[in-house]
Structure 1
């Protein structure tokens, strides 16, 4: 199960992580978010040794969403060493997502 991260836990869980973190910014009302969510969960399980995967509900964690300028969801951000290393906006099929994430998982 992919971990939910909040405004309160974002720094500790994401910015201070010693490995890359894929953050799925989503909201319950977002159809494409619901489509991409199981794919993100699968990638999280399959790549657990190399990549941490977490989710941020933008409705409940507006501070974090605003801080990173999240205006379109789903938005997948990869954080590495406390910085945004990659941004993927919009739903993608699993092969495309894996290709986008290859630099962090290979």
Structure 2
């Protein structure tokens, strides 16, 4: 299951984590975000041994989305050891392949 992150716990959950972390920036009113949600939850379950999956509702905080220049949602950012290594904005059909390709690069 994905973890909920916000302005207050982002550093402890994402930046200070040494492994791979995928952060899904989303909002409740965003139709593509809702369409992507089952893929995100499936990824969190299927790859829990390789990657931490987090969800950041942009309605619940503005500091982190602003820091990372989030202007459209959904935006997915992959971090490794707290550093951004990949980004995808918009709906992604083959999320699993994108994640696997990113973590194996």
Q: Which runs of 5+ in 2 are unaligned?
A: none
Aligned-residue CA RMSD in angstroms? 1.3
Q: Tell whether 2:16 aligns with 1:12.
A: no
> Please, what TM-score do these two structures have when normalized by structure 2?
0.93
TM-score (norm 1): 0.93
Q: Distance in 1 between matches of 2:33 and 2:83?
A: 23
Q: Residue 97 of structure 2 aligns with which residue?
A: 99
Shift of 1:97: 1.2
SS at match of 1:59: helix
Cα contact 2:18–2:82 (8 A) shared by 1: no
Question: Which residues of structure 1 form unaligned runs of 5+?
Answer: none
**Runs of at least 4 residues of structure 1 off by over 4 A?**
none
